[in-house]
């Protein structure tokens, strides 16, 4: 059975509005200049602590995180939506059989599981694992190794589907094949320039057709 590890933000879901609004809320509370939606979207990756530090520096990020978190948890389901092709791909692969699927993300594990359930993805997934569930985060090889152990699989039997160089690096560190979609913070050209993923696609529909031979209904 082939194992498929899906990234969450920018791959299966769009949560950028909620993230950007919560960052702006924290910046206002701290008297900092608000980051635009476009800047946040381009900066997201590596987990919220990394994103905050990139936007405002490490010291301010430490103060901003609990303020961000309070707002984020209150508005977790506001503005989130499944990216085009996400439900289709998960459902089609589940129906086809032979696949063991999981979410593998740098978003907090508890938040990720709540979102996966909210959008109905949990019916097709065996696991949802994020930061806080282990001491690791992508692209640390230990995090990928943890997923392989959890899913009772090997690197040869696993592929990773994501939207960023972090996802490619996580796959590479675990000797896992990777396929990327340009539905997150990076364009196809950027992904091609910054990674050596086996395949790069404009969206999940194109990926599903090319990698799995699926045709949208």
Report pLDDT digits (tens) over 171-194.
999 999 999 999 998 999 999 999
The last residue of a domain, from among 34, 58, 74: 74
Q: Which pTM value belongs to this model?
A: 0.94
pLDDT of 156 strictly over 90:
yes
Residue 129 lies in a domain: yes
**Residue 139: which of 174, 188, 108 has the closest Cα?**
174
Which whole number is the average pLDDT over 23-46?
A: 93
| Inter-helix orientation angle 141-150/165-173, to 10° | 70
Task: Give yes or no for residue 1 having a pLDDT over 80.
Answer: no
Do 40 and 88 share a domain, yes or no? Answer: no
From CA 158, how far away is CA 178, in angstroms rounded?
9
Looking at residue 200, what is its pLDDT? 98
Residues 191 and 108 reside in one and the same domain? yes
Its sign, for the CA torsion 107, 108, 114, 120, is positive
In a domain, 155, yes or no: yes
Residue 108 shares a structural domain with residue 137: yes
pLDDT at 217 (0 to 100): 72
Looking at the fold, whether 94 and 138 belong to one and the same domain comes out as yes
Confidence of residue 97 (pLDDT cuts 50, 70, 90): very high
Same domain? 197 vs 118: yes
| CATH number of the domain to which 203 belongs | 3.40.50.1000
Burial status of residue 139 (CB atoms within 10 A of its CB: 0-12, 13-18, 19 or more): buried
What pLDDT digit, counting tens, does each position of 36-75 carry? 999 999 888 888 999 999 999 999 999 999 999 999 999 9
Give phi and psi for 187, each to the nearest 5. Answer: -80, 170
- State the Cα–Cα distance between residues 44 and 51, nearest whole angstrom: 5
Q: What average pLDDT does range 10-22 have in this prediction?
A: 96
Does any domain span residue 53? yes
Sign of torsion, CA 13 18 163 143?
Answer: negative
Does 85 lie in the same domain as 64?
Answer: no
Half-sphere exposure of 59 (CA within 13 A, CB side): 1
Mean pLDDT of the chain: 96
Residue range 143-152, pLDDT digits in tens? 999 999 999 9
Q: Is residue 217 part of a domain?
A: no
Last residue of a domain, one of 74, 92, 118: 74
Domain that holds residue 204: 2-14+80-212
88 & 45 share domain = no
Is the confidence at residue 216, as pLDDT, over 90? no
Instruction: Give the phi and the psi of residue 107 in degrees, each rounded to 5.
Output: -70, 150
Give the C-alpha separation, 30 to 211, whole Å: 46
Per the structure, how many domains does the chain have? 2
Judge if 193 and 155 occupy the same domain: yes
Q: Report residue 94's pLDDT band, with 50, 70 and 90 as the boundaries.
A: very high
Mean pLDDT of 70-90: 97
Mean pLDDT across 154-167: 97
For residue 32, what is the domain's CATH number? 1.10.150
């Amino acid at each position: 059975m082939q194992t498929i590890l899906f990234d969450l933000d920018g791959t299966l879901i769009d949560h950028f509005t909620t993230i950007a609004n919560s960052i702006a809320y924290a910046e206002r509370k701290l008297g900092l200049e608000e980051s635009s939606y476009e800047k946040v979207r381009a900066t997201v990756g590596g987990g919220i602590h990394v994103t905050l530090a990139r936007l405002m520096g490490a010291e301010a990020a430490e103060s901003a995180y609990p303020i961000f978190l309070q707002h984020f948890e209150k508005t977790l389901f506001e503005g989130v939506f499944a990216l085009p092709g996400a439900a289709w791909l998960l459902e089609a692969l589940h129906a086809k059989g032979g696949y063991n699927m999981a979410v593998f993300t740098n978003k907090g594990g508890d938040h990720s599981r709540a979102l996966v359930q909210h959008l109905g993805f949990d019916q097709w997934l065996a696991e949802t694992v994020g930061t806080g569930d282990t001491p690791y985060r992508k692209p640390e090889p230990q995090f990928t190794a943890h997923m392989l152990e959890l899913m009772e699989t090997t690197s040869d039997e696993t592929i990773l589907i994501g939207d960023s160089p972090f996802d490619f690096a996580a796959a590479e560190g675990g000797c896992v094949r990777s396929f990327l979609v340009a539905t997150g913070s990076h364009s196809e050209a950027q992904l091609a320039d910054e990674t050596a993923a086996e395949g790069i696609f404009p969206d999940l529909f194109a990926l599903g057709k090319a990698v799995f031979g699926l045709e949208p209904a």
